[in-house]
Structure 1
């Protein structure tokens, strides 16, 4: 009896039932498609994040590895004199801090603490009443004043007065002017800066430039 009723209901409403079935099938297909698309998007986003993270880490490591250093010798009235490895853009005051700071007897009146250090530089901190300097003593030749590349050129940032006079065309007066300029203005950025010194014109500079370096 029940079966006959169901059969009759199906026959009377077959079109409606088929239509509902088709609609439900389509809705299910759309639902599955949308959910699958979201999962794919999530996977892509996650992968992009990982790739971006790896790229940032790689750049950070490369920057760290490419960081340049210099070695600076500091002696005299500091707590821990010695040779220190410093970042290339370090200043004199940072080298002093690295050496444990100044002793009470230290005289830094002639020291430019804001001066940038260079590789192979020697900083001498004298006692009160003596001479402090962050460059070679004028009366003592300094081995670092000759370029390390084997060219034999004199480094105008490191050379003392006597060493400067070994350059053809530089006498005592001009050597003194170079030392004075260096004390007042800091290191030479290029040998062309010599033309800022009174008495060194274009012609004299042309005669000197091939013998000098910075």
Structure 2
């Protein structure tokens, strides 16, 4: 497992794994075959109440709980009830570990919208896509949101923090009044 932060890789494997020592290889495999093929790993950006926020590398099929552990574990302030720890993470997603205040705001937002948090804190709430927790793939399920615009929304959120209102989408390059109107009843914050 590798933690990538600020452009630098921080390797969490043993030193023996790097010098090619046979004892570092998995049992029954030749030395150097203990790294999974590139198509079996995912990169997840873990943010919020974790000890080492940043991009972590995990095996495909890993759970949110594994991503949090790879980021050093949750801080004492983390509200893990606001995260579905059993959810399989996907490549390129951002996983937000909220504090108590953020978790309460998510629940309040869901209640105002007439929905409830589904799947223990997923990016959809009452059928609405949450702009503050959805990854690019989830944003692409929205009308008129393609891969490029979905990534700009995620990038805006990473740069500026959580959206405080749906109308704040207008600050994202490529989102105009017409797109906002199409999304207004399909998204939440």
TM-score using structure 2 length: 0.44
Q: Considering fraction of residues, name the structure with more helix.
A: 1
Q: Considering fraction of residues, name the structure with more strand.
A: 2
Larger Rg: 1
